[in-house]
Structure 1
C-alpha cells in the first residue's frame, strides 16, 4: 500500500466492517469463530492488495482452526456485529505464527505488515473520520512500546503489540484483552459498544511470505 491511496484503502476497510452490523445474542460468552464452516460463512472478505488465503484446517487431534497464508498480499476477514462491551468487555482468542516475518519497521508505511492481526472497530457514524480501531498485532520486532498509530490511518487505528519476535512460532497462544480498558488507555474514550471485528495476515508492503492460524475467538463477561 502506498500514500494517499493506501490510506483510503485502510479507511475503506474500517468502514466496510461497519456497514450493516448485526445485533448480538448475549449469553455468558459470545463465540464468533469456533471455527466451523457455518461460522466462517458469516465473515466477509476485504482486499487491499491481492488475496491472503484463509482456509479451515484440523490439527492432529482433530481440532479445527483457520489458517492464513499471505504471499506479498493483504486481505482480511471481517464480521459485522454490534457487541455491548459493558456486558462483554473481554475479547478472547487463540493464534499461532506458522511462518514469521523478518524484522520490519512497523511504524513506517513500508513495514506495515504483520503475520497476524486482530481488529476491533467502533463506528464513527455519519462522521466516518471518527471511526476508530484497536489493532492487536503479532509484531516482527522486539518492540517494548505499548502502542503506536497506524502509518496509513494515523491515530484512528492504534497498533497494540500482543506478541513479538521473541514469541515462538508453531505454538498456540491464548489472549485475553479488556476492550473497555484498552479503548480508554489508547484513545482516551469510554466506549460502550463495538461494531465489528476482523482478522488479517498481510505482507503486501514487505513482499514477504507469512502464515498464521486463528481459532476460538469470543467475547466474555470476565
Structure 2
C-alpha cells in the first residue's frame, strides 16, 4: 500500500477514535423524550415557598427541539433533578435555551428585582468541615424554612435584562448562590441559543478552592418579585469533556448556533 494511502487511513482512524472517545464522554442529564406525557423523571418541580404560585412547566416540541417550556406569571418554582457527575472528566455543561423577551423591571442587585426570564441553577455539596460555623448556622436556618433543597453552594446562569454579559455577583438573598450573566437584553430573544460553561472553573471563580461535589441542576423562569410574565425554553442538557463540541441538535437548521424562530410561537 502506498505511503500516502497509509497516512490517510491512519488519519481517518485517528479521527474516528477521537470522535468515539468524545461521544463516550458525554453525560446526558436533560435529553427530553418526544411524545412523553408529563414531566420526565427524575425532573421534579421544586416549590421553595408555598405562598408563591409555581411556574408552569410542560414538555413540548418547539421549532423542532424537544424542550421544557417554562411560563411564569407572578410565580417561582424550580424544575430540578439530582446529579452525580465527575467534573474532572466532564467539566463543561452544554444546553439550549431561549426566551420570548427579557424582563423589564428586574434588577438582580436587589431582592425586589431578583427575577429572570430564564435561569439554570447548578448546586453543590460541600463537606461540613469546609464551611465555617456561621455559614453552617445560616444554612441550617434556611433549611428550616425552605427545606433540604437549599444547597451548600450554587451557581446561577441567568438571562438578565440589564447587567452586562460576564457579570459575576452574589445573589441578592444569599452569598451561597453566585449569579453569572450569560445573556442580557433582547438581542438573542426569540431563538434557541447554545450555551457552554466550564462549571468547575466557574465554581472556582465564585467560591475559590472550596472542596465540593456537584449535587443537582435546575431550570426556572422566575417573576414572583416583579410580577411580570415570562416564557422560556430549555433543552439538551449534557456534561462533556473539554475537547467535545457543543452543537445544536440539527446543524442544518441553525446559523451561528441559533435555530430560526417559528413566528407563530411568538
CA RMSD after TM alignment: 2.2
1:181 to 171, 195, 201: 201
Unmatched 5+ stretches in structure 2: 1-22, 140-150, 243-266
Measure how far apart 1:105 and its partner are. 1.7
Q: Take 1:144 and 1:46, find their aligned partners in 2: how far apart are those partners?
A: 28
Within the alignment, does 1:97 sit opposite 2:118 as a pair? Answer: no
Q: Take 1:89 and 1:118, find their aligned partners in 2: how far apart are those partners?
A: 16
Partners of 1:99 and 1:209 within 8 A in 2: no
Measure how far apart 1:190 and its partner are. 5.5
When the two structures are superposed, what TM-score results if normalisation uses the length of structure 2? 0.68
SS at match of 1:134: strand
Counting only pairs closer than 5 Å after superposition, residues 61-210 of structure 1 correspond to structure 2 as 61=64, 63-125=65-127, 129=139, 131-143=152-164, 146-153=167-174, 155-189=175-209, 191=211, 193-210=213-230
Structure with greater Cα Rg: 2
Measure how far apart 1:166 and its partner are. 4.4
Greater fraction of residues in helix: 2
Unmatched 5+ stretches in structure 1: 1-25
Greater fraction of residues in strand: 1
SS at match of 1:218: strand
Assess, with a 3 A threshold, how the Cα gap between structure 1 residues 192 and 220 changes in structure 2: closer, same or farther. farther
* Per-residue Cα deviation, 1:56-85 (whole angstroms, up to 9, x for no partner): 111344x31111000000001111112110
Measure how far apart 1:40 and its partner are. 1.8
Q: Take 2:213 and 2:75, find their aligned partners in 1: how far apart are those partners?
A: 31
* Per-residue Cα deviation, 1:23-42 (whole angstroms, up to 9, x for no partner): xxx94101111112498221
Find the counterpart in structure 2 of residue 55 from structure 1: 58
When the two structures are superposed, what TM-score results if normalisation uses the length of structure 1? 0.81
Partners of 2:25 and 2:240 within 8 A in 1: yes
